[in-house]
Amino acid sequence: MKLVIIDRDGVINFDSDQYIKAPAEWKPIPQSLEAIARLNHAGYRVVVATNQSGVGRGLFGMATLNAINEKMYRALANVGGRIDALFFCPHTNECNCDCRKPKPGMLLDISKRFNVNLKNVPFIGDSLKDLQAAQAVGAKPILVRTGKGEETNAGQGLPKGTIQFVDLNDAVKHIISH
């Protein structure tokens, strides 16, 4: 099975330091939805893995998170794309859970659900936490410079083997061509 794991905020849609708290705040980054559709059409299963601590902080509830994700699904369907599964961590850092990136719990759940070894599976993210989670399970860390990506790139300690692209669209072009 061909699989790609993608972070949501800052990769598929514009991020906000105040969190994406309502469907009206969810706005796709140009060409991100079309990039996911190209992955689908090239035979890839696409899974989103996203930290959503706004739920744990009480900034929005599960119904709102579901409505935000539903807006993403509809927007993707309009360009011929889909997300095969969405995994999220609703916890705050203080919870010290196993599912919050950079810990590997969410990715291990994806591995179990799809019955696939994540070794060298592309994981596209914009934060060091995304890249560290990818590294922890042997996935291929891919940094995009949208969202927090420029800041992440300027920091120290990118995991070994991290490759970088301007945005999700460029990362997908690379994945499909290799």
- For 110-152, how does the pLDDT look when each residue is reduced to its tens digit (9 = 90+)? 999 999 999 999 999 999 999 999 999 999 999 999 999 999 9
Is the pLDDT score of 63 beyond 90? yes
What mean pLDDT is reported for the chain? Answer: 97
Helices (H) and strands (E) in the chain, counts: 7, 6
Full strand arrangement of the beta sheet holding 44-51: 85-89, 44-51, 2-6, 122-125, 140-144, 163-165
Residue 10 φ/ψ, nearest 5 degrees: 90, -10
Is the pLDDT score of 163 beyond 80? yes
Q: What is the mean pLDDT of residues 70-90?
A: 98
Please report which residue ranges of 19-104 form alpha helices under DSSP H.
32-41, 53-56, 62-78
d(CA 51, CA 148): 14
Supply the Cα-derived Rg of the chain in whole angstroms. 15
pLDDT at 155: 83
In sequence order, what are the residues at sequence separation of 6 or more whose Cβ sits closer than 8 angstroms to the Cβ of residue 80? 37, 40, 41
Is the pLDDT score of 156 beyond 90? no
Report all structural domains of the chain as residue ranges with CATH numbers, in order of start: 6-36+52-110+145-157 (3.40.50.1000)
Active site annotation includes 98? no
pLDDT at 157: 86
- In this prediction the pTM is 0.97
Q: Given the structure tokens 């922890």, which residue do they identify?
A: 136
Could you tell me the end-to-end alpha-carbon distance of the chain, in angstroms, rounded to an integer?
A: 15
Counting residues of the chain whose pLDDT is more than 90, the rounded percentage is 97
pLDDT at 120: 96
Nearest 5°: CA angle at 117, between 113 and 123? 85
Would you place residue 96 in the very low, low, confident or very high pLDDT band (cuts 50, 70, 90)? very high
With residue 167 as reference, give the H or E element that holds it. none
Q: Which of 9, 15, 130, 167 is catalytic?
A: 9
Is the pLDDT score of 76 beyond 90? yes
Q: What is the mean pLDDT of residues 61-88?
A: 98
Active site annotation includes 9? yes
Asked if 6 contacts 147 with a C-beta cutoff of 8 angstroms, the reply is no
pLDDT at 16: 93
Q: What is the mean pLDDT of residues 53-59?
A: 95
